[in-house]
Amino acid sequence: MNRRKFLKKGGMVLSGTVCADGLLLLTSCNPSETTKENRLSRHKWGMVIDLNKCKPECTACMEACRQENNVAFHGDKRWDIHWIRKVGIQERHSENAGEKMIPMLCNHCENPPCAQVCPVQATYKRDDGIVIVDHHRCIGCRYCMIACPYNARFFNYKDDPDWPNKSYPKRSHGVAESCHFCAHLLDQGKRPACVDTCEKIGVKAIYFGDLKDPNSEVSQLIADTPLKRIRADLGTEPKVYYKGL
């Protein structure tokens, strides 16, 4: 074998190995193998809040949320955390001008800006549409708080010694947190604490249900009544709807 033949054959062998490796890599990147089938994708949770029924001075949902999710309350507005809170919004440019108190919570956007900016993918959207924080992974950079157009995210500046619901964990100092539609209760087949409480006190201003199910209360309300979403123009596709906004 002369030098020319040797180089030719060597090149063929080399290119053959490279191509084979490339093929192997391509097949291993097939997305159908990496996606995980799970039962969460059967539902898509959504909420409708009827502002005509919601009383401006009532804070029952906020209290229920604190009790259920061990949300920190220090009595100092620098550190207090509200997963659901009452916000006064003003109507200026129409006949019915005035202030309205509306319950605000995480809107569980279809395109969540908080999940997009999270550098460690601690915030993510579950397959049932709930935007949730993995507090084990959160590094406390607070990008999500800046990204959220609804100011629904809060940072745990201080540990709260109170622990009302022992079956649900607290959050440690230094992580961001927000409403998660009581995902731990939904997994058990129950409803979120605020929805339950609102019904229990006889107001029933909050409706909760599956948006994928056309017969659910929420889907029918969305189909029949004119509902508004907050800052729908941003394209985040929030899943909390307001009636009478």
Is 239 one of the binding residues for other proteins (CB under 8 A)? Answer: no
Is 212 one of the binding residues for other proteins (CB under 8 A)? Answer: no
Encoded tokens for 175: 């992580």
Q: Which of 2, 96, 167, 215 binds other proteins (CB under 8 A)?
A: 167
Q: Which of 166, 202, 214, 215 binds other proteins (CB under 8 A)?
A: 166
- C-alpha pair distances (Å), 190 with each of 31, 64, 177, 187, 208: 33, 15, 22, 7, 11
Q: Which of 51, 145, 147, 183 binds other proteins (CB under 8 A)?
A: 183
User: What residues from 39 to 98 belong to the interface with other proteins (CB under 8 A)?
Assistant: 39-40
**Is the distance from CB of 41 to CB of 127 less than 8 angstroms?**
yes
Is 221 one of the binding residues for other proteins (CB under 8 A)? Answer: no
**Is the distance from CB of 191 to CB of 208 less than 8 angstroms?**
yes
Is 134 one of the binding residues for other proteins (CB under 8 A)? Answer: yes
User: What residues from 5 to 44 belong to the interface with other proteins (CB under 8 A)?
Assistant: 36, 38-40
Strands, E assignment, the chain: 45-50, 84-91, 98-105, 123-125, 131-133, 154-155, 176-177, 206-210, 227-228, 240-243
User: What residues from 136 to 155 belong to the interface with other proteins (CB under 8 A)?
Assistant: 136
Nearest to 154 by CA among 127, 190, 188, 123: 123
Q: Nearest-5° angle of CA 162, CA 165, CA 166?
A: 90
Q: Which is nearer to other proteins, 6 or 163 (CB)?
A: 163
Q: Which is nearer to other proteins, 5 or 136 (CB)?
A: 136
Q: Which residues of the shown chain bind other proteins in the complex (CB under 8 A)?
A: 36, 38-40, 124, 126-128, 132, 134-136, 159, 163, 166-167, 169-172, 183, 187
